[in-house]
Structure 1
């Protein structure tokens, strides 16, 4: 699912350099400050020779900030506050350094492209409103975070689902759970139809775990689903009804 913020060009002043736990770079100051830097970029038509050093500095700064926030798990509350998007979470993910770095890289790369083309070139950043160039860029990183995060999150859920579905018997359990099939023999067509009817990786994981006898609360904890046992029960009930309507 691709998320589009209502206004990705506005960054409220609650963001500040002090919040980043990171010394501010002096590149912009060396180049004359935010307004002078923007004017130089505009006069050159954002030529690579002028834009690339700025992009590299913003990328280094953005990576330091976003990586730190992911590690501290404060990124989710900051994204919610700035964009309004609440994101699903897993207690133990992302935890490994490789995934954290991959996520931060994706966020910064997308933010740089958007920042250049849709903010700076489009003239949406107004330095007189109080948000510095760095602050505004971090705001864009927060707007880009949900889509980047969901791609990796869905891939992680699929990986966990594949771990849970270890054999044909497990898949057959899903088919029986969805369709109420009592016969011990489950055809391959029934299995394929059952799996196609599941709408999301999280729902698939929940159904497989439910079919294997896991309690609702344990499923919710494993998949990081807010609402706990009741949310899982509602999800499974919905998927069963949907599968039976489509059969």
Structure 2
């Protein structure tokens, strides 16, 4: 037989060349099925994987229940399922697929092009939304899915899939909340940006140093969240206070906004100086 032989016919030849039923039986059923009926073989593999996964999920749930869904084992479970959920949510946000999924659940968020673009290009925006979503999903998932039995082994979904489904519903609320914050600052704060005073006592020396050009020309082109952060910095608020006032996840979110703004501001100054 040449090296380019069709694997389907190779399997069939192995069966037909056996001279007795006992010899034919010596050919593994899996190999025969894969060679003669690949679609049925693939379906059989998927079914076997589903059964194994369902069995593993059930055993995991029983182990966690034995410790009343607490202690080191449950903390490890939370860490692992959180990491999985964060990675999935961030990927869905980056591609925009998350809005397709939420619509399939009956939640029509109707994101604007600017909102889709921000999630696609801004990893910190994705991290901020995903972090808050997962943090809020965990306690509800523990109570409803595990303690109260909302997740069932015969329900069809793996534990991880059930968790991401629960996180999608939380994401809907967090996205709407974030949208409301942005709209609030855009209407109540950012419309009067050109008349903001620049106090000499503002806490950030870099902002003071480059205020001459940027307070009108550059700042007005920024997104509402960044402008709101800068407004509060100029008013002398600390990063911790800004985090609490804007409902951000952590000080790192404020630091990230300011870092990106500084980089853009310096590029603007460099361009203005060379023209």
| Equivalent residue runs for 1:155-234 within 5 Å | 155-161=181-187, 162-166=189-193
Instruction: State the 1:141 CA deviation.
Output: 0.7
What's the Cα RMSD here? Answer: 2.2
Task: Give the stretch that moved more between structures: 63-72 or 149-158.
Answer: 149-158
Structure 1 residue corresponding to 2:156, chosen from 124, 130, 145 = 130
| Partners of 1:159 and 1:73 in 2: CA distance | 24
Question: Are residues 1:85 and 2:107 paired?
Answer: yes
Instruction: State the 1:78 CA deviation.
Output: 0.3
Higher relative contact order (CA 8 A, sep 6+): 1
Structure 2 residue corresponding to 1:38, chosen from 46, 58, 61 = 61
Cross-structure match for 1:56: 79
| Partners of 1:47 and 1:99 in 2: CA distance | 31
| Partners of 1:140 and 1:156 in 2: CA distance | 25
Cross-structure match for 1:145: 171
TM-score (norm 2): 0.47
Task: Give 1 or 2: higher helix fraction.
Answer: 2
Structure 1 stretches of 4+ with a deviation exceeding 3 A read: 165-168
Cα deviation code 1:6-44 (max 9, x no counterpart)? xxxxxxxxxxxxxxxxxxxxxx97xx7100010011111
Q: Which runs of 5 or more structure 2 residues have no equivalent in the other structure?
A: 1-51, 196-275
Instruction: State the 1:167 CA deviation.
Output: 6.5
| Partners of 2:65 and 2:184 in 1: CA distance | 45
Instruction: State the 1:132 CA deviation.
Output: 0.5
| Partners of 1:116 and 1:138 in 2: CA distance | 13
Task: Give the stretch that moved more between structures: 156-165 or 128-137.
Answer: 156-165
Cross-structure match for 2:138: 112
Question: Are residues 1:69 and 2:92 paired?
Answer: yes
| Partners of 1:69 and 1:165 in 2: CA distance | 35
Instruction: State the 1:74 CA deviation.
Output: 1.1
TM-score (norm 1): 0.52
